[in-house]
C-alpha cells in the first residue's frame, strides 16, 4: 500500500514538472514592422538584444533600432524609443554634421510606399512619390511664397550621409531631420495601399436569320461568346503632414475616390492645395 502511495506521489510530481516545463512563459519582442517574436531573451545591451527561439539553443542577435517593445515573461514591459536610437546613429556618423537652418526653406522627405497586406515597401515608388511631391511644390512656387524648396538631390544626399532612407525615415524625429537638412519646414507623406481584384464577364451574341421556303417560319443560328476580364483595384490611404520649427502645423489623411493605380497622386495634389503653406493667386 505504501509503495502504491509513493508511486502515485512520484507520478504526480513528474506530471506537474512536465506541465510546468511545457507551459513555460516566453518573452515577446514586438518589432517596429509589427512582427512578434516569442523567445527567451538571454542578453541585452544598448545596441542589440540576443535571444533564442523555443526548443533551440542558438542565440540570435537583433538590433534595438528594429524593436518597438519587449514584453518579458515576468510581466514587465520595456519600450524602445526610436528617437534615442536615431540620435545615436546620427551622432556616430561623422558625415551627418548639423547644418545651419535656412529660414523659409522646405524639404520633401522620401515617401514610404507600403503594401499594408504584407508590409512590403518599394524603394522605387518611394523615390517616385517623393519626386512627384517635389515637382508639385516647384510648379506651385508662386503659391507657397516666401518658402523655397530645397533641391531634391541635396535632401537625399544629406539623408544618405546620416544613414536615413525611406525605410527608417518615420523613426527619425522631425527636429533631428530639420538639423540634418538645414531647413525649418518639412513635408512628410506616406502612401499605404492594398490590392484587390474583380472579374467581369461580357457576352457577345451574333447570328444569321433565314426565312423558310413557305415564308412562315424564321430560322436563326445564334452564336454567343463570353469573355472574362480580371481587373486590379488599388485602395490607397495617403498620410500628409507638414512641420515648421519641429511643430506639426498640418496633418490630414485622404482616401482617393477612384481605386486605380495612380489615384494616390490626386490625393497628394488635393492635400497640398489645402495645406497652410499654399496661398491661391
Residue-by-residue DSSP string for 43-102: EE-SSEEEEE-TT----EEEEGGGEEEEE-TTS-EEE--HHHHHHHHHHH-TT-PPPPPE
Q: What is the pLDDT of residue 253?
A: 93
Q: What is the mean pLDDT of residues 16-33?
A: 68
Res. 158: pLDDT tops 90: yes
191-201 pLDDT tens trace: 988 888 766 65
- The pLDDT of residue 91 is 44
Q: Please, which pLDDT band fits residue 123 given cuts at 50, 70 and 90?
A: confident
Half-sphere exposure of 217 (CA within 13 A, CB side): 5
C-alpha span between 120 and 113 (Å, rounded):
8
Instruction: Give yes or no for residue 63 having a pLDDT over 50.
Output: yes
Q: With 90 as the cut, is the pLDDT of residue 85 above it?
A: no
pLDDT tens, residue by residue, 232-278: 888 999 999 999 998 999 999 999 888 888 888 999 999 999 999 99
Residue 119 confidence class, pLDDT cut points 50, 70, 90: confident
Q: What local confidence, expressed as pLDDT, does residue 107 receive?
A: 96
Which is nearest to 236 in space by CA: 262, 264, 257, 198? Answer: 264
Instruction: Look at strands 36-44 and 27-31 and give their pairing.
Output: antiparallel
Asked if the model's pLDDT at residue 205 lies above 80, the reply is no
Q: Which domains does the chain have, with CATH numbers?
A: 2-80 (2.30.30.100), 85-195+231-273 (3.40.50.10610)
Amino acid at each position: 500500500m505504501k509503495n502504491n502511495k509513493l508511486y502515485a506521489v512520484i507520478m504526480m510530481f513528474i506530471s506537474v514538472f512536465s506541465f510546468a516545463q511545457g507551459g513555460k512563459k516566453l518573452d515577446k519582442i514586438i518589432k517596429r514592422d509589427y512582427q512578434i517574436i516569442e523567445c527567451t531573451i538571454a542578453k541585452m545591451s544598448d545596441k542589440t538584444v540576443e535571444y533564442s527561439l523555443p526548443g533551440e539553443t542558438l542565440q540570435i542577435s537583433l538590433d534595438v533600432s528594429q524593436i518597438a517593445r519587449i514584453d518579458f515573461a515576468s510581466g514587465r514591459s520595456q519600450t524602445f524609443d526610436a528617437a534615442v536610437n536615431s540620435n545615436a546613429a546620427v551622432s556616430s556618423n561623422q558625415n551627418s554634421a548639423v547644418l545651419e537652418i535656412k529660414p523659409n526653406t522646405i524639404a520633401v522627405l522620401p515617401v514610404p510606399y507600403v503594401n499594408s497586406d504584407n508590409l512590403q515597401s518599394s524603394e522605387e515608388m518611394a523615390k517616385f512619390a517623393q519626386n512627384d511631391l517635389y515637382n508639385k511644390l516647384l510648379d506651385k512656387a508662386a503659391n507657397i511664397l516666401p518658402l523655397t524648396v530645397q533641391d531634391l538631390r541635396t535632401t537625399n544626399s544629406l539623408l544618405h550621409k546620416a544613414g536615413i532612407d525611406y525605410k527608417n525615415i518615420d523613426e527619425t524625429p522631425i527636429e533631428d531631420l530639420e538639423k540634418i537638412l538645414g531647413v525649418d519646414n518639412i513635408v512628410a507623406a506616406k502612401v499605404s495601399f492594398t490590392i484587390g481584384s474583380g472579374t467581369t464577364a461580357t457576352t457577345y451574341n451574333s447570328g444569321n436569320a433565314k426565312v423558310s421556303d413557305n415564308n412562315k417560319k424564321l430560322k436563326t443560328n445564334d452564336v454567343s461568346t463570353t469573355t472574362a476580364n480580371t481587373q486590379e483595384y488599388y485602395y490607397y490611404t495617403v498620410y500628409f503632414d507638414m512641420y515648421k520649427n519641429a511643430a506639426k502645423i498640418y496633418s490630414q489623411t485622404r482616401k482617393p475616390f477612384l481605386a486605380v493605380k495612380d489615384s494616390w497622386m490626386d490625393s497628394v495634389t488635393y492635400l497640398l492645395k489645402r495645406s497652410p503653406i499654399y496661398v491661391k493667386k
